[in-house]
Chain A
Amino acid sequence: MKSRFTQGSNDMPNNNILIEVKELRTYFYLTEGVVRAVDGVSFSLERGRTLGVVGESGCGKSVTARSIMNMVRKPGRTVGGEVLYHRRNGDDTTEEIIDLLKLEPMGDEMRAIRGGEFAMIFQEPRASLSPVHTIGTQIVEAIRLHRPMTKAQAREHGIEMLRRVKIPRPEQIIDAYPHQLSGGMCQRAMIALALACQPALLIADEPTTALDVTTEAQILELMRELQATFETSIMYITHNLAVVAEIARDVMVMYMGKDVEFAPVDAIFHEPKHPYTIALLSSIPRIDVERDMLATMAGTVPDPYALPKGCPFHPRCPSRLPVCSQDIEVPYVFFDKGHRVRCHLYTAK
Chain B
Amino acid sequence: MRTFVLKRILQAIPILFGISIIAFAIIQLPPGDYLTTYVNNLRSQGDVISDEQVKALEEQYGLNQPLYLQYWKWITNFVRGEMGQSFYWNKPVRSLIGERIALSMLVSLFALVLTYAIAIPIGLISATRQYSFADNLFTVLAFIGVGLPSFLVALVLMYFGNRYLGLSAGGLFSIEYMDAPWSLGRVLDLLKHMILPALIIGISGTAGTIRVMRATTLDELSRPYVEAARARGLREMVAVLRYPVRVALNPIMSTIGWQLPALVSGETLVSMVLGLPTCGPLLYTALITQDMYLAASFIMILSTLTVAGTLLSDILLAWIDPRIRFGGIQ
The chain A residues found within 8 Å of chain B, CB to CB, are: 69, 71, 106, 111-116, 119-120, 122-124, 127-134, 141-142, 145-146, 177, 179-180, 190, 193
B230 CB within 8 Å of chain A: yes
Name B328's closest neighbour in chain A (CB-CB).
Answer: A179
Question: Which residues in B have their C-beta under 8 angstroms from that of A145?
Answer: 232-234
From B227, B235, B243, B330, A122 is in contact (CB under 8 Å) with: B227
B326 CB within 8 Å of chain A: yes
Q: In the bound complex, how far is the Cα of B242 from the Cα of A142, in angstroms?
A: 13
From B231, B246, B322, B326, A69 is in contact (CB under 8 Å) with: B231
Name A106's closest neighbour in chain B (CB-CB).
Answer: B236
Question: Which residues in B have their C-beta under 8 angstroms from that of A123?
Answer: 224
B72 CB within 8 Å of chain A: no
From A112, A127, A130, A134, B229 is in contact (CB under 8 Å) with: A130
B143 CB within 8 Å of chain A: no
Question: Which residues in A have their C-beta under 8 angstroms from that of B225?
Answer: 127-131
Name B233's closest neighbour in chain A (CB-CB).
Answer: A115
Q: Is the CB of B247 within 8 A of A131?
A: yes
Q: In the bound complex, how far is the Cα of B227 from the Cα of A123, in angstroms?
A: 12
Q: Is the CB of B250 within 8 A of A132?
A: yes
Question: Which residues in A have their C-beta under 8 angstroms from that of B224?
Answer: 122-124, 127-128
Known contacts: A124-B224, A130-B247, A179-B329. The answer to whether A71 contacts B323 by CB under 8 A is no
Q: In the bound complex, how far is the Cα of B330 from the Cα of A124, in angstroms?
A: 14
From B232, B243, B321, B326, A114 is in contact (CB under 8 Å) with: B232
B35 CB within 8 Å of chain A: no
B7 CB within 8 Å of chain A: no
From A71, A129, A132, A141, B231 is in contact (CB under 8 Å) with: A71
Q: In the bound complex, how far is the Cα of B233 from the Cα of A312, in angstroms?
A: 35
Question: Which residues in A have their C-beta under 8 angstroms from that of B233?
Answer: 111-116, 142, 145-146
Q: In the bound complex, how far is the Cα of B228 from the Cα of A132, in angstroms?
A: 15
The chain B residues found within 8 Å of chain A, CB to CB, are: 223-225, 227-236, 243, 246-247, 250, 320-323, 326, 329-330
Question: Which residues in A have their C-beta under 8 angstroms from that of B229?
Answer: 130
* The 4 nearest A-B residue pairs measured at CB: A115-B233, A115-B232, A120-B231, A128-B228
Q: Is the CB of A115 within 8 A of B329?
A: no
From B243, B246, B322, A179 is in contact (CB under 8 Å) with: B322
Q: Is the CB of A131 within 8 A of B232?
A: no
From B223, B235, B236, A127 is in contact (CB under 8 Å) with: B223
A254 CB to nearest chain B CB (Å): 20
Name A120's closest neighbour in chain B (CB-CB).
Answer: B231
Q: Is the CB of A132 within 8 A of B232?
A: no
B220 CB to nearest chain A CB (Å): 10
Q: In the bound complex, how far is the Cα of B229 from the Cα of A66, in angstroms?
A: 13
Pick from B229, B233, B247 the residue with the most CB of A within 10 Å: B233
Q: In the bound complex, how far is the Cα of B235 from the Cα of A128, in angstroms?
A: 17
Q: Is the CB of B235 within 8 A of A131?
A: no
Q: In the bound complex, how far is the Cα of B322 from the Cα of A106, in angstroms?
A: 31
Question: Which residues in A have their C-beta under 8 angstroms from that of B243?
Answer: 130, 133
Known contacts: A106-B235, A106-B236, A145-B234. The answer to whether A131 contacts B228 by CB under 8 A is no
Q: Is the CB of A177 within 8 A of B323?
A: yes
Question: Which residues in B have their C-beta under 8 angstroms from that of A69?
Answer: 231
Q: Is the CB of A179 within 8 A of B227?
A: no
Name B228's closest neighbour in chain A (CB-CB).
Answer: A128
Name A193's closest neighbour in chain B (CB-CB).
Answer: B232
Question: Which residues in A have their C-beta under 8 angstroms from that of B230?
Answer: 71, 114
Question: Which residues in B have their C-beta under 8 angstroms from that of A134?
Answer: 322
B316 CB to nearest chain A CB (Å): 13
Q: In the bound complex, how far is the Cα of B234 from the Cα of A293, in angstroms?
A: 50
Name B226's closest neighbour in chain A (CB-CB).
Answer: A130
Q: Is the CB of A132 within 8 A of B321?
A: yes
Question: Which residues in A have their C-beta under 8 angstroms from that of B234?
Answer: 111, 115, 141, 145
With A127-B224, A179-B330 known, 15 other A-B pairs at CB within 8 A are A114-B230, A114-B232, A115-B231, A115-B233, A120-B228, A122-B228, A123-B224, A131-B322, A132-B250, A132-B320, A132-B322, A132-B323, A133-B246, A141-B234, A190-B228
